[in-house]
Structure 1
C-alpha cells in the first residue's frame, strides 16, 4: 500500500509539472518575394501580452496557447495576425511570409515664399513669414517635447477619444502586463513604428495621432516618442477622457 501511495504521488508530480510547462509556438519568417529570412521582426502574443523578435535566420519562438493571436510587424512590411492552431503547436517548422509595403509618393510643389524680385521687399516678406511660423509653432507647442497633456475642449475631444476606444478599454489595461514582461517592455521602448501599439489596442496609426492631438500632445511627441511612451500616453488620455465625461454627466443633471 505504501509503495502504491508513493507511485501515485510521483505520478501526480509528473503530471503537475507537465501541466505547468509553458507552451510555445515556433517558426521562421521569410520575405514572400526573395524568400530570404527576415530578422528583428516584432512577434507579439496579443492574448498573453508576450513579446519576442525573430533571430538572424528568421526563426522565433514565443509563449502561446491554442487560439492565441500572434501579431507580426516590421517597418516596411505589412503587419499580419495569425491564430494559434493545434497543428502550429505541434509543428516547429512553420513558415511565415511577410509582404513588403508598396509606397507611392504624390507629386508636390514646394513654394515657400511669394517673392517680388525686389530685395528690400522680399527680405521683409521672408522675415514676416519666419516670424509667423515661429509664433504658430510656439503656440502649438511643437518647440517642446510635451505640451500640456490634458484634454482640450476645442472640438469635443472627449467624444473623439471615446469613439476610438469604444469597446477597447480592456486592451488599454494590457499596460500592466507589458510592464511585467521584460521582452515586451524592451521591445516597446526601442520601437517607433506604432505597429505593436496598433496590434495591442486594435486601432490604426491615424487613431493614435487623432487621440494624442485631442489630448494636446505636441507633434514632436506624437511622431518621435517610443511606442511605450505612446502606449502610456494613450492610457492617460483615455483615463482623463473618462473623468471629463463623468463631470459632464454630473453637470447635465
Structure 2
C-alpha cells in the first residue's frame, strides 16, 4: 500500500511538472482581422523576458511566457498591438491574435533644384555637404570607439568620454531593468534578427521605455552623427547605445580607482 501511494505521488508530481513546463510557453495563430488569413513573418517579442520569435507560414507561433507577461506583435502594414498573457491562455493552449491593416500613405517629396550662378564661390555653397564621419578608438577599450565629425575632431571624442554616458545614466538610472534588457537584447538571436530589418525604432522605444526623441538624443550624445542616426537600422542603434554604456562603465571604474 505504501509503495502504491509513493507511485501515485510521483506520478502526480510528474504531471504537475510537465504542466508547469508547458505553461511557460504561449502558443497561437496571428490572423488578418479583415480576411481571417494567416500572417507569416509577424514579429513577436515578450517585453518582460526579452525573447522574440516570428510566425511560420501558417501564422503559428510559440514563445516563452508566463502569466502577466506582455507580448508585442508587429507586422509591416499592420497596426502593432500588445497582448497580456493570461492563465487561461497558458492553460488551454493556442489563441488567435488578429492584426488590423493600416492604410498606406506616401509622404510628399519636395525636390529642390540648384540654381547655379556661374560663380564657383557662390555655387559651391548650394551643394549639400558630404557627410564625413570617422570612428575614434580609445586606448585600453575594446570596440570601434566613438564616431565624430571631422570638423569637431578630437574635442568631441574627449568630451564624449564623460558627458554622453552621464546622459545615459540620467536616462536609465531610475530604470535598472531597462539596462539589463540591453544585454538580453544583444544575446537573443531572434531579437537581433528582428531589429536588423527594422528602422522605425518602435521595438527599441518599447523595450527601453523611452520615446523616440529621447532615443535619438541618447545616440547623439554618444557622439554618433546625424547621418548614422538617420540611416542605421534598429540593431545598429541598439549596439551603439550598448557600446557607449559599456565604455562608460570602464571609464567610470578607472576614474573611481584614481580618486
Q: 2:49 aligned with 1:42, yes or no? A: no
- Show structure 2 runs of 5+ residues with no match: 136-143, 148-156
User: Quick one: higher RCO (CA 8 Å, sep 6+), 1 or 2?
Assistant: 1
Cα separation, 1, equivalents of 2:103 and 2:214: 20
Q: Secondary structure at the match of 2:53?
A: strand
Q: 2:178 aligned with 1:171, yes or no? A: yes
Q: Which residue does 2:20 correspond to in 1?
A: 19
Is contact 2:164–2:223 with CA below 8 Å preserved after alignment?
Answer: no
Structure 1 residues 78 and 152, CA gap change in structure 2 (3 angstroms)? farther
Is contact 2:79–2:99 with CA below 8 Å preserved after alignment?
Answer: no
Query: CA shift at 1:19, angstroms?
Result: 2.6
Q: Which residue does 1:213 correspond to in 2?
A: 220
Q: Which residue does 1:78 correspond to in 2?
A: 79
Q: Secondary structure at the match of 2:68?
A: coil
Query: CA shift at 1:63, angstroms?
Result: 1.9
Q: Which residue does 1:133 correspond to in 2?
A: 129
Is contact 1:52–1:60 with CA below 8 Å preserved after alignment?
Answer: yes
Q: Which residue does 2:138 correspond to in 1?
A: none
Q: 2:225 aligned with 1:229, yes or no? A: no
Which of 96, 101, 111 is equivalent to 1:94? 96
Query: CA shift at 1:80, angstroms?
Result: 1.9
Moved more, 65-74 or 194-203: 194-203
Query: CA shift at 1:20, angstroms?
Result: 3.2
Structure 1 residues 59 and 17, CA gap change in structure 2 (3 angstroms)? closer
Q: Which residue does 2:112 correspond to in 1?
A: 110
Q: Secondary structure at the match of 2:56?
A: coil
Aligned length: 240
Is contact 1:188–1:226 with CA below 8 Å preserved after alignment?
Answer: yes
Provide Cα deviations, 1:152-199, integer angstroms capped at 9, x if missing partner: 46xx65565445435333122123333554433433344444332222
Q: Which residue does 2:139 correspond to in 1?
A: none
Structure 1 residues 171 and 10, CA gap change in structure 2 (3 angstroms)? same
Cα separation, 1, equivalents of 2:173 and 2:77: 29
Is contact 2:31–2:59 with CA below 8 Å preserved after alignment?
Answer: yes
Is contact 1:151–1:158 with CA below 8 Å preserved after alignment?
Answer: no
Is contact 2:80–2:99 with CA below 8 Å preserved after alignment?
Answer: no
Cα separation, 2, equivalents of 1:21 and 1:59: 17
- Show structure 1 runs of 5+ residues with no match: none
Moved more, 35-44 or 186-195: 186-195
Structure 1 residues 34 and 94, CA gap change in structure 2 (3 angstroms)? closer
Query: CA shift at 1:52, angstroms?
Result: 0.9
